Amino acid sequence: MSLLHRGRWITLLGLALLAGVYVRALAFTPVERLQGPAQKIYYLHVPAAIWAETAMVLVGLGSIFYLFLKDRRLDRFAAASAEVGTVFAAIVLTTGPIWGKPIWGTWWTWDARLTSTLLLFFLYIGYLLLRGAVRDPALGARYAAVLGICGMCLVPFIHLSVYLFRTLHPQPIILKPSAPSLPGSMLATWLFSLGVFTLLYVGFVTQRYALSLLWEERNGA
């Protein structure tokens, strides 16, 4: 089975399971007392946010190894991870306001977490623009790697600003130093969803990777 097909199957499986997440979230997980049904978006929002950020870190790691090993597979992976990260950041930026309207009473607030995802999104856009702006592929890969590494190092600084800047955002519920404070069934649904997003990330990246491989073969590069 070709890489492209494998990626396609992983993605399809991920999408099917995502439907499963929502069946479970809507039918078998209790409605949150204060937020009501709007909270259901949380199962989409937070895993997407986690993977949008993780993708940037993986772009950075791929870039470091690319600069040293000059292995084009690493560059292809970094490029694929950046595109998938862009999509996930877009999901976060779409679901955030949808949740924010009923809960905060406004579509957009300059809340630090939403802002930092927006910055991450801009970072991705810049990365993709830079890749497109250089004609020689080897040069473009090297430039993108430099930006990818800087981007990875920027992520913790964006996070630091989250804790320093006053924020409207619900504080982290699961990924915090003390034990998770989510009821068991919600936690189970959430973990299920995180797993599904992991699968989706792998599926998307595999497909994108396979496509750039095909593109390079077609263009003889």
Partner 1 sequence: MAELLRQAWAVARKDLLLEFRTRTAIVSAVVFTALVLTVFNFGRDPTAVSALDLAPTILWVTFTFAAMLALNRAFQLELENQALEGLLVSPLSRTSLYWGKLLANLAFVAVVESVGLPLFVLFFNVPVGRVLLPLVAVIALATVGFVAVGTLFSALVIRTRFAELLLVVLLLPFLVPPLIGAVQVTARLLGDRPLSEAVGYLKLLAAYDIVFVSLASFLFRFTVDE
Partner 2 sequence: MLLAEGLHHAFGRVVALDGVSFSLAPGQTLAIFGPNGAGKTTLLKVLAGLINPQAGSARVDGGRRAIGWIGHQSHLYGHLTVRENLLFWGSLYGLSAARRAARAAEVLARLDMSDRAGEPVWSLSRGLLQRAAIAKALLHDPAVLLLDEPFTGLDLAAAGQLRVLLGELHDGGRMMVLATHNVDEGAELATDVAFQRRGRFVHFAPRGTRGAAEIAAAYRRAMADG
C-alpha distances out from residue 175 to 51, 172, 179, 183, Å: 13, 6, 9, 14
Out of 158, 194, 199, 205, the residue judged to bind partner 1 by CB under 8 A:
158
Measured between alpha carbons, how far is 221 from 216 in angstroms, rounded to an integer?
5
What is the number of other CB atoms lying within 10 angstroms of the CB of residue 182? Answer: 16
140's tokens: 């473009």
> Which listed option, partner 2, partner 1, none, makes contact with residue 143 (CB within 5 to 8 Å by class)?
partner 1
The one-letter code for the residue type at 116 is S
- State the nearest-atom distance from the C-beta of 128 to partner 1, in Å: 11
Alpha carbons within 13 A on the beta-carbon side of 133:
8
Considering the rule CB under 8 A, would residue 122 count as an interface residue with partner 1? yes
Residue range at the interface with partner 1 (CB under 8 A); choices 30-38, 43-51, 146-154, 190-198:
146-154
Contacts with partner 1, 30-69, as mask; x by CB under 8 A: -------------------------------------x--
Contacts with partner 2, 132-161, as mask; x by CB under 8 A: ---xxxx-----------------------
201's tokens: 């990330």
